[in-house]
Amino acid sequence: MDRMFARLAAAVVLACTVPAFAATWTPLGPEGGPVSTMLVDPNVESWVYALGHAGLFRSEDSGYTWREAGKGLDSNSLFYAHLLVADRERPGRLYLFETDGRLMRSDDFGENWKPTGYCTPMPQLPLALVDGAGAGEELYLTLDQRFVYKSTDGGRSFAMLGNGLPDWRALASLAQDPLDPLHLIAGGGAIPFATDDPLPAMYQTRDGGLSWSEAGPAFTFSYTTQVQFFGNGWVAALSSGKLYVSSDSGQNWESRGDTDVQGMVMAVLPTIPQQAMLVDSRRCYRSADYFLTLDDCSNGLGGSAASVIAPRSLAAPLHAAHAYRVLLPNNNLGALAWNGDGERWETGSAGLRAESVRGLALLPQDSQQLFAGRVYSVPGRDPLARSMDGGGEWQTALGDTIKLVRELQIDPTQAATAATTHIYAAGGDNYSFGVNGAIVKSIDGGASWQILQGGLPAGGIGGITHRLALDPRSCAAPPASGACQSGPLQTVFALSDAQGSLSHYRVIKSNDAGAHWQASSSGLPLPLNEPDSQQVVLPTDLDFDSGDATLYLSTAAYYSSPDGSPLTPTIASGVFRSSDGGASWRQSSTGLPQVDGAADTYQPVRALVTHPRRGGRAWASALVPGAGSRIYKTVDGGDHWLPGGEELAQCDVRDLRIDPAAPQLIYAAGFALTGNHGCVFLSEDGGETWTALHAGLPVARVSDLRLDPQDQRTILVTTEHGVWLNKVAPDRIFNDNFGVD
């Protein structure tokens, strides 16, 4: 893995001058990914922030390079987040809304975040957020139902401002005049009823929101997506697909030509007051006269740079060499950049790892060939990324067969050459009917793929398939002991959350290498839908005993009451095992931690792994809410489970891996709890003691851990910021003892 080793060599050089572990983790990409909005820091005008599905990033060189920020943000709550503002009077202070409506604040330029205490009232969603000019801690907010709200305490609370505003209309955009902090313009948004009456494009206030009046033209279908002050009495607005400009601070408005600006965003360029740019993912117009004339600047847009989702913002930071740069968020490439003296849009995503990946496969004969699944389904984007050079460059790999990938597995018996390797991929299909299970397979090393849905129901929307497991002894002629060396392997299990029907296809099985599937959930408890509670158990992981035909299945129970009152669950969960190839399952959770007061419901078990040589031995990760995970082990085939060592504090373990060459080496990887960084641990004594490996890994969620098949000391993990690599040197890497009999 030449490129990987070259990166690691550079990390070793850096390690001589920084604390231990500061340079041990190496990012492999892919760079880019879904970015929803960008913001120039008003106090450091070469600094830019990028907010995407995977978190917050900061650039200190006008978008040439990026790095992760945003500790304390929940990456699960940023999928639709797009509201990010900076306080002009308080350098370092930023605000953003997470998807669940929680307002977050940072006072150190985005490094660390805490809740302000405010959350939008359900079911309302925030549409616009504006920093109020002046010495106070003022913020202005619009919600998707009606009115403008104002905070004077730094976002802890908001009061409604509504005099003159309709009580039946959302306000889609909001802007404050930088020369007059009492002057705001709100763009009209959606209405909850049909009407043929013309509606004003905007509303404005000149007393800080106490009273409002109609502004701008009126249309039957009026929707104003952006208002932009130039700072000298000029203001522009994008409304109902048209561009409007006012030269008298919003008193009078005139249309600027017939250009369709639907889906476009605009920004004032920082060097000349009347300069501005108007852009979407395919078109660009630049103007030096308040949009009176428009010059085309679309070179480099469209094609692979096209974004199906309209951009939310446009950022124009200062830059010494180019006067300024313009940065456009992109839902595929991360960021596109235009230099002030340039002639073309280019990718501007160096270090911008906004790609949340899950599922990882390395080809056994050439581990520089990597496959990584994209967690989120974004229209127009390939759900699978492939690198041929150890993460240096990434390409698309799957096409539009399915919409997202959560799991990848390689048949080790069909991997003699890269070109003939058999690879399975699984995930979900969010946009089309007739696909249930979303499992695909390649028999040519990923060059082509076919969907595997024989035996699955064609109707409905299938659940997301998040685990695949190949029975290592399911070849045509298995050896007397141990795994098959020649294949292909025939038995494949798939685990799904089965959104279409929770009682079916949680576990499915194929006996012909994925060609046909059948249900394999008998013995798992059916969902309980009762007047006072809803309870369901979903599978999380599956592995095979190396000594006999026993299968182990870990599960997590989900339960709630309609009114949110406390509930003691009754549904069986924890670990289940099967001795008949998955035809039936029985609970085998004795010794695992139970839910308080419950007889058969256990804390979530999200990962398990079996010993590769000794039958009856396995490890399972059980989550203790609010505390972390503890690894339990069994030495009697699941009859009893014993806690193995200390708790992995503030870590929700999602993957367990054993080094097949040295089975006393166990890796645990998972999600951070309470705003910490993601976790990776190593045990060198079969789970009795653990060493943290995640120092210097700037992520919150580690989903998968894989060992390099050509160098077992090299581990790779999937995260919300792409794939990362670490070179581990355990003290007893060559000790082949089990160590914990």
Percent of the chain's residues with pLDDT above 70: 91
Return the structure tokens found at 166: 């309709």
Residue 18: pLDDT above 90?
Answer: no
pLDDT of 433: 43
pLDDT of 75: 73
Mean pLDDT score of the chain, rounded to an integer? 88
Burial of 36 from C-beta contacts in 10 A (0-12 / 13-18 / 19+): buried
pLDDT of 93: 97
Residue 260: CB atoms within 10 A of its CB come to 11
Residue 674: pLDDT above 80?
Answer: no
Strands (E), 310-422: 318-319, 323-330, 334-339, 346-347, 357-363, 366-374, 384-387, 395-396, 404-410
CA distances from 375 to 50, 57, 427, 642, 646 (A): 19, 19, 8, 34, 31
pLDDT of 458: 54
The pLDDT of 325-338, averaged and rounded, is: 91
pLDDT tier at 397, thresholds 50, 70, 90:
confident
CA distance 653 to 422: 28
In Å, how far from its chain's centre is CA 342? Answer: 33
The pLDDT of 230-251, averaged and rounded, is: 94
pLDDT of 306: 62
The pLDDT of 273-285, averaged and rounded, is: 91
Contacts of 6 (CB under 8 A, 6+ apart): none
Q: Are 530 and 507 in contact (CB under 8 A)?
A: no
Return the structure tokens found at 549: 């035909």
pLDDT tier at 496, thresholds 50, 70, 90:
confident
Contacts of 169 (CB under 8 A, 6+ apart): 146, 188, 189, 190, 191, 199
CA distance 330 to 32: 8
Place of tokens 């949340």: 356
The pLDDT of 65-78, averaged and rounded, is: 86
Backbone angles phi, psi at 531, to 5 degrees: -60, -30
**Is the preceding peptide bond at 709 cis, omega within 30 degrees of 0?**
no
The per-residue DSSP string of 75-106 comes to GGG-TT---EEE-SSSTT-EEEE-TTSEEEEE
CA distance 437 to 498: 8
Closest CA to 718 of 36, 28, 31: 28
pLDDT of 401: 78
The pLDDT of 375-404, averaged and rounded, is: 85
The pLDDT of 611-620, averaged and rounded, is: 96
Residue 3: pLDDT above 60?
Answer: no
Place of tokens 């978190």: 55
Residue 492: pLDDT above 90?
Answer: yes
Q: Are 50 and 66 in contact (CB under 8 A)?
A: yes
Q: Are 79 and 73 in contact (CB under 8 A)?
A: no
Domain 30-272, CATH among 3.30.930.10, 2.130.10.10, 1.10.150.20, 3.40.50.150: 2.130.10.10
pLDDT of 538: 93
Q: What is the pTM of this model?
A: 0.86
pLDDT of 653: 97
Domain boundaries, the chain: 30-272
CA distance 374 to 371: 10
Residue 373: pLDDT above 90?
Answer: yes
Higher pLDDT pick, 122 / 239: 239
Vertex 41: Cα angle to 26 and 53 (nearest 5): 50
Question: Which of 85-99, 155-169, 502-516 bottoms out in mean pLDDT, i.e. has the lowest?
Answer: 502-516
Residue 228: pLDDT above 70?
Answer: yes
The pLDDT of 357-380, averaged and rounded, is: 90
CA distances from 676 to 20, 557, 628, 649, 671 (A): 19, 25, 12, 10, 9
Alpha helices, DSSP H only, in 604-692?
none
The pLDDT of 176-193, averaged and rounded, is: 90
Contacts of 181 (CB under 8 A, 6+ apart): 132, 133, 134, 208
pLDDT tier at 5, thresholds 50, 70, 90:
very low
Higher pLDDT pick, 319 / 504: 319
Contacts of 122 (CB under 8 A, 6+ apart): 101
Residue 736: pLDDT above 80?
Answer: no
Closest CA to 102 of 128, 74, 142: 74
Closest CA to 375 of 27, 723, 725: 723
pLDDT of 436: 54
Highest mean pLDDT out of 184-198, 300-314, 631-645, 661-675: 631-645
Number of helices and strands in the chain (H, E): 1, 58
pLDDT of 304: 60
The pLDDT of 186-191, averaged and rounded, is: 90
Return the structure tokens found at 645: 């060592």
Residue 257: CB atoms within 10 A of its CB come to 13
pLDDT tier at 12, thresholds 50, 70, 90:
very low
CA distance 542 to 553: 5
**Of all residues in the chain, what percent are helix, strand and coil, respectively (each to 5)?**
5, 40, 55
Q: Are 331 and 53 in contact (CB under 8 A)?
A: no
pLDDT of 731: 53
CA distance 150 to 210: 10
Residue 430: pLDDT above 60?
Answer: no
Percent of the chain's residues with pLDDT above 90: 67
**Torsion (CA) 496, 541, 448, 455 in degrees, nearest 10:** -40
pLDDT of 11: 36
Sign of the torsion formed by the C-alpha atoms of 22, 24, 28 and 30? negative
**Is the preceding peptide bond at 488 cis, omega within 30 degrees of 0?**
yes
pLDDT tier at 15, thresholds 50, 70, 90:
very low
Beta-sheet pairing, 691-692 with 702-708: unpaired
The pLDDT of 726-737, averaged and rounded, is: 61
pLDDT of 654: 97
pLDDT of 308: 58
Return the structure tokens found at 727: 């070179």
CA distances from 24 to 8, 57, 244, 651, 656 (A): 8, 21, 53, 20, 21
The pLDDT of 491-497, averaged and rounded, is: 92
pLDDT of 592: 98
pLDDT of 220: 72
User: In the sheet where 102-106 sits, what is the strand order?
Assistant: 84-86, 94-97, 102-106, 114-119
pLDDT of 352: 92
Strands (E), 100-147: 102-106, 114-119, 126-131, 139-143
Return the structure tokens found at 284: 């660009």
For 435: left if phi > 0, alpha if psi spans -120 to 50, otherwise beta; the answer is beta
Question: Which of 437-441, 497-501, 509-513, 551-555 bottoms out in mean pLDDT, i.e. has the lowest?
Answer: 497-501
Residue 24: pLDDT above 60?
Answer: yes
pLDDT of 123: 84
CA distance 553 to 493: 11
Residue 383: CB atoms within 10 A of its CB come to 28
CA distance 479 to 476: 10
Alpha helices, DSSP H only, in 114-245?
none
pLDDT tier at 516, thresholds 50, 70, 90:
very high
Residue 77: pLDDT above 80?
Answer: no
Residue 375: pLDDT above 60?
Answer: yes
Beta-sheet pairing, 224-229 with 235-239: antiparallel
Return the structure tokens found at 121: 């009232």
Q: Are 266 and 228 in contact (CB under 8 A)?
A: yes
